[in-house]
Chains A and B, each alone.
Chain A
């Protein structure tokens, strides 16, 4: 056993003060931006500073752009908040995409079948209830499997996504206008029945208000309520939770009902408040992006405001450079990917530290 002591070893850190851990993250983002700049220059031959300028232009270039940035951020934030209680419970709900889609589907169904038949206020109430219900059911199914038979939830929620997508595809063709177009078109364009109301004359404000309210309530729910405590105990150790007499099955099912229901609200906003139509790609993969947003924020609802902002900023900025410089829209995905890799990687340096072998140390 004359194996040499390795050059370095890795030790778990105590909790870092917040400014240090955010400093590490900031360094990671800066390094990521430099790498992105280099890659942009290599692949497109553009001046990276111009590209960064265009990034900011894309997100904040005009009043309307700022509003759209905020609106997109709100939707992403709501989905991320929805997934968070499940994640805190170590229930990997990758099914946000599907839960949002069925919420959107339920909303669209109400708008199409009930539009103009009942008073608008009642219609919106029914839409809200059915969207939440649909999302909850989509969350409940994998939760029951997990609680009863310990079915791997990452995989089952993933499958639920595609079932939801095909369900939406099915109804898109059932409702298509005109026949053969494979799109639903703007629902109730003439009557605006079931369109969510505008707040203070701005069509962008409602999602933002809902997102802020959700953020605060989720923060309180997770931190100060009995439910929130139970969730974190189950997340830390299911055995401990069972030992102290918590009904883990009940907690899993209850939390996933909440998670799915809130995703349904995001679907309601997407259809009733923003797009007024339904497509299979209405959510554009935000159910997956939200997983990253929630994780990057270490499951803290307040921090999630910043992480969702970061992602949307990247998306909008990269969208801008795509149009400005005649690049393909997918360039955004590459840049987002690179930046995510760096942030994901830097978490290591927050939780661990590397200790070099000391000279003469045996």
Chain B
């Protein structure tokens, strides 16, 4: 009854945007910046890619699309869009030392607004009757699976049937973990997040580390938005479709206790939890319980958050200076 071969690819498809968001936010938080703007950044990443793809598809409406350009244009647009968001956040919180919570929330308002506004405008431009735009041709390039996936039965379905961004998500998470925990740069970054004054005294440029970590983090998170539109939703952008995945990604950071490797498994778990309600046979009479199942990821996260603070193990704690601005002259 429960088709696990069909379930796993769907769960992984759900988990990829979360994993991008989570890896990006872990890098950001490790530098001591609590970026609550991630949901907005992911929207901007998504819509920037959509804008790029939209105009490229328009440009070659009759002719063939170059596969390389069809992938690179949305990708670069998406990265640029989220980079700009990262720069705004850093300018305000690092250079101007504004409160991170307030800045992050403003970024989320702004980013979601950008996504829905430009999404709405493009929908109008394309003159469609439905409130969405379909970029199926671009999506075709993004979601192209490995060529031999269909020949390998269940193994192919579970491991090989995804577009390249999915593998990129896992790769980026692994690279992020190696950089954070095995390199000198990662050590410095963690020092900045734990105690910026000490890091500063040790000759680390705190501001530069915060800028780089946050901007790279935003670019990674933005890819989550791009993946969602181009691959998971097969190129269909409709307003607010991305939903609360950005917040879920922030929850995931806690759940994976600031470790991108745990983030990989946790995101698959969350991706599964996000859609498990579809597979629980409640029938039409008990629709309401599906809403309770959707609560599970948040309850579990809260539980993990409390548990890690109760056990009070040094390595499982949030970075000590998380959420605080650093002012060199103020000790």
Contact = CB atoms under 8 A, between A and B. Distances in A.
A169 B288 CA distance: 8
B113 A151 contact: no
Contacts of A167: 295
B120 interface: yes
B112 A333 contact: yes
Interface stretch (B68-76, B188-196, B306-314): B306-314
Given A149-B310, A156-B305, A292-B105, A345 B91 contact: yes
B325 to A, nearest CB: 10
Interface in B60-89: 88
The residue among A163, A330, A331 with the most chain B CB atoms within 10 A of its own CB is A330
Nearest to A285: B109
A15 to B, nearest CB: 15
A155 interface: yes
A166 interface: yes
Contacts of B106: 292, 337, 340-341, 344
Contacts of A352: 97
A344 B92 contact: yes
B203 to A, nearest CB: 12
A316 B1 CA distance: 52
Nearest to B301: A159
Q: How large is the interface on A (under 10, 10 to 19, 20 to 34, 35 or more residues)?
A: 35 or more
Interface string A143-167: 0010001111011101110110011
Interface stretch (B152-160, B208-216, B246-254, B259-267): B246-254
Nearest to A332: B113
B5 interface: no
A328 B113 CA distance: 10
B99 A150 contact: no
A12 interface: yes
Contact of A330 (B97, B112, B318): B112
A288 interface: yes
Interface string B95-122: 0111101110111111111111100110
Nearest to B296: A166
B299 interface: yes
Contact of B329 (A10, A150, A162): A10
Given A92-B323, A170-B288, A151 B306 contact: yes
B292 interface: yes
A201 to B, nearest CB: 36
A334 B244 CA distance: 19
Contacts, number: 162
Contacts of A172: 291
Given A149-B310, A340-B106, A341-B106, A328 B120 contact: yes
B287 interface: yes
A291 interface: yes
A328 B298 CA distance: 31
A351 B239 CA distance: 39
A351 B325 CA distance: 13
Nearest to A338: B110
A152 B305 contact: yes
B3 interface: no
Contacts of B113: 330-334, 336-337
A11 interface: yes
Contacts of A170: 288-289, 291-292, 295
Contacts of A292: 102, 105-106
B322 interface: yes
A347 B305 contact: no
A347 B98 contact: yes
A288 B294 contact: no
B306 A149 contact: yes
6 closest A-B pairs by beta carbon, nearest first, are A337-B110, A333-B113, A328-B120, A330-B116, A166-B295, A173-B288
Interface of A: 9-12, 43, 92, 94, 145, 149-152, 154-156, 158-160, 162-163, 166-167, 169-174, 285, 288-289, 291-292, 295-296, 327-334, 336-338, 340-341, 344-345, 347-348, 351-352
Interface of B: 34, 36, 88, 91-92, 96-99, 101-103, 105-117, 120-121, 239, 244, 247, 250-251, 254, 287-289, 291-292, 294-295, 298-299, 301-302, 305-306, 309-310, 312, 318, 322-323, 327, 329-330
Given A43-B117, A337-B106, 8 more contacts: A156-B305, A173-B288, A173-B291, A329-B116, A331-B117, A333-B110, A341-B110, A348-B97
27 contacts: A12-B327, A94-B101, A152-B254, A152-B322, A154-B34, A154-B101, A155-B305, A156-B305, A156-B306, A159-B301, A159-B302, A166-B294, A170-B289, A170-B295, A291-B102, A295-B99, A295-B102, A296-B102, A328-B116, A328-B239, A330-B114, A331-B117, A332-B113, A334-B113, A344-B98, A344-B99, A351-B97
